[in-house]
């Protein structure tokens, strides 16, 4: 049970994730950090690990000219003291050379505990898109 003695509030936790993602996409990683706990861990594509939203913002600045998420849906899994929140959708933006892209699938998995995000895992098709862009296909 949570500190309040009840199950996690999944609707509230999904909204926290939505606002965090919108803030992070500005990009304003400093403002986004107010939605994460002091023990926050972010595991990015390729197993890259960061302990704050600024890590992903810095990495994305090298990977994309700019990038945004089209958040199609959120799915929640309630727990006794935390909620697992999945954000599913697509990425759109520009590669570093200015070439636009869209429809790049992503899944982000969050752990929200006591109203703060304590973990985020990120997966997307960017590597596959870059392989195809460079003529490398299965």
Q: What is the pTM of this model?
A: 0.89
Of 92, 125, 120, the residue nearest 106 (C-alpha): 125
In the three-class reduction of DSSP (H, G, I as helix; E, B as strand; rest coil), residue 123 is classed as: strand
Q: Which two tokens stand for residue 43?
A: 């595991």
DSSP states of 58-72 as a string?
HHHHHH-SEEEEEEE
Q: Is residue 123 a contact partner of residue 106, using CB atoms and an 8 Å limit?
A: yes
Query: What per-residue confidence (pLDDT) applies to 138?
Result: 62
Distance CA 65, CA 116 (A): 29
What is the Cα–Cα distance from 49 to 55, expressed in whole angstroms?
8
Please report the DSSP string for 7-52 in residue order: ---HHHHHHHHHHHHHHHHTT-HHHHGGGEEEEEEEEEGGGEEESS
Place of tokens 């594509």: 45
Q: What is the pLDDT along the chain (138 residues), one digit of tens a residue?
A: 444 445 779 999 999 999 999 999 999 999 999 999 999 999 998 899 999 999 999 999 998 999 999 999 999 999 889 999 999 999 999 999 999 999 999 999 999 999 999 999 999 998 888 777 778 776
Q: Which domains does the chain have, with CATH numbers?
A: 10-133 (3.10.450.50)
Tokens representing 101 are 């892209």
């Amino acid at each position: 049970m949570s500190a309040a003695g009840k199950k996690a509030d999944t609707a509230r936790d999904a909204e926290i994730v939505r606002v965090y993602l919108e803030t992070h996409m500005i990009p304003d990683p400093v403002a986004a950090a107010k939605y994460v706990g002091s023990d926050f861990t972010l595991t990015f594509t390729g197993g890259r690990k960061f302990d704050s939203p600024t890590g992903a913002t810095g990495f994305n600045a090298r990977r994309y000219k700019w990038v945004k998420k089209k958040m199609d849906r959120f799915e929640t899994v309630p727990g006794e003291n935390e909620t697992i929140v999945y954000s599913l959708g697509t990425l759109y933006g520009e590669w570093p050379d200015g070439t636009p892209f869209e429809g790049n699938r992503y899944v982000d998995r969050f752990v929200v505990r006591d109203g703060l995000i304590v973990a985020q895992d990120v997966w997307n098709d960017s590597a596959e898109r870059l392989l195809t862009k460079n003529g490398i296909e299965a």
